[in-house]
Amino acid sequence: MWSSTPAFPGMPQGMKGKALNPRPVNDGKVTDHHALIVTENLPGKMEADEQAIYDLIAGRMLEAFSEKCVKDVTSVTLECAGSLFTVKGSVTKSAGWRAVFAEKEDGEDNTALPVMQDGNSLPLSGIELLEKQTKPKPLHTESSLLSSMETAGKELENAELKASMKDTGIGTPATRAAIIETLFSRQYIIREKKNLVPTEKGLAVYNIIRDKKIADVEMTGMWENTLAKIESGEMNPDTFRKGIEVYVRQITAELLDVQLSFASGGYCICPKCKTGRILFYPKVAKCSNVDCSVTIFRNKSDKQLTDKQITELVTTGKTGLIKGFKSKNGKVFDASLAFDKQFNVTFMFPEKKGKPKK
C-alpha cells in the first residue's frame, strides 16, 4: 500500500511473503502502549512538514516489522612490541530493517578484513605518533536528555538488571517530558540556548544525592526487576512494599541530616567570560557559567582567602598585599594575588627597595 511513498518505495512489496519480525508484538504483555502506527488509509497531498512526520512514523513501523539486519563481524587482535591492537571488520549480508531508510550507523565501516590465522606475521606498513586531547561530553539538550533517560540502563554491569531496564529506562514515554519540566519548575536546571544547564540549587542537590542509591539507575533496575517478578507471581508484593517503606525511612533520615552548602558572598561579574557571576563556596569561588574555567581556591599556600580578598581580585584583577603565605619548605612570605592572561591565580611580590647610594 505504500509503494508510492517516495521515502521508501518498494519496501512493503519486498516484505510480502516473508515472516514479520514478531518482536514488536507480545500477547503475554498486553498493557498500555504508546506506539504511533499508520492505518491502511493512504493520505492525500500533504505539506512538507506533514509528509516528513508521516514518513518517520511509517518508516519506524516498517523497521519494527522488517527482518533482522544480518552482518558478518570479524575482530582480530594484533600484537606489536608487547602492545595489543584490535581491528574490526563488518560486512552486511542482509540489510533487513536498515534498508527502510538506508541509513548507516554512526562510525559504521562496511569493510571486510583479509583472511588471517592465529600466529600469522604481518608486515608493519608504518608508524604514526599522534598527540590528542580528550574533550568533555557536551551539555545535554532536551532531545539528548530524553534519549539518555530512555537508555539509562545500558551502562549497568549486572545482566539481569540491564535486561530489566532494556525496555524501561527512567520514566515512560508519557512521563519523561514531564520529569524534565519539573526540573525547570523547581529551578534545578535552566536553558542556555539549546543546552540544559544545572543551576546553583540543582548542583547543590546533585552533590547531596549523587552517592546515594536514590540517584543510582541500578536501583531503578532493581525495582523494575522486582516488579516483573511480582507480575509473574515469583515474588510477594508485600515483601517489596515493606522493603520500600524501610528504604524511604532510611533515605528520609539521611536527607534530613544533610548540611546544605549554598553559595554566598557578593555579586561579582566574572572577569573572563563577562556573562557569569562568581559564586562563593566554603572551599572555592567559581564562575556560574559552566563553560567558563575561572576557579579560585580559598586555600592558597596555607593561607585562607576571605570573601573581601576574592572580591577585590575579581573586580580589580589583583589584591592588596596579603601577609602569611607559606611555601612548601615552610618559609613564610607576603605577596599580592593577581590573574595571569589565562585567569589563573598567581603571586605578585612587592618590589624590593634598594639601599640609597652614598
In terms of residue numbers, what domain contains 47?
11-65
pLDDT > 90 in the chain, percent:
21
262 in a domain, yes or no? no
End residue of a domain, out of 22, 46, 65: 65
**Comparison of pLDDT for 273 and 25, the residue scoring more:** 273
pLDDT (0 to 100) of residue 356: 58
222 with 317, same domain? no
**Which one, of 143, 148, 231, lies nearest residue 191 by Cα?**
143
Q: Is the dihedral of CA 156, 160, 163, 168 positive or negative?
A: negative
323 in a domain, yes or no? yes
pLDDT (0 to 100) of residue 321: 93
* Structural domain count of the chain: 3
pLDDT at 199 exceeding the cut of 80: yes
End residue of a domain, out of 192, 222, 256: 256
290 in a domain, yes or no? yes
pLDDT at 32 exceeding the cut of 70: no
Q: Whole-model pTM above 0.75? A: no
265 in a domain, yes or no? no
304 with 342, same domain? yes
- Encode pLDDT of 89-125 as tens digits: 888 888 888 888 877 665 566 677 888 888 888 888 8
pLDDT at 157 exceeding the cut of 70: no
**Comparison of pLDDT for 190 and 82, the residue scoring more:** 190
Averaged pLDDT, 132-149: 87
205 with 307, same domain? no
88 in a domain, yes or no? no
3-state secondary structure of 163: helix
Averaged pLDDT, 70-91: 86
43 in a domain, yes or no? yes
354 in a domain, yes or no? no
76 in a domain, yes or no? no
- Where does the pLDDT of residue 333 fall: very low under 50, low under 70, confident under 90, or very high at 90 and above? very high
- Encode pLDDT of 1-22 as tens digits: 554 555 665 566 556 667 777 7
Q: Which of 206-220, 312-326, 338-352 has the lowest mean pLDDT?
A: 206-220
Local structure of residue 255 (DSSP, 8 states): H
Q: Which helix (H) or strand (E) holds 203?
A: helix 200-209
Residues 6+ positions from 214 with CB-CB distance below 8 Å: 251
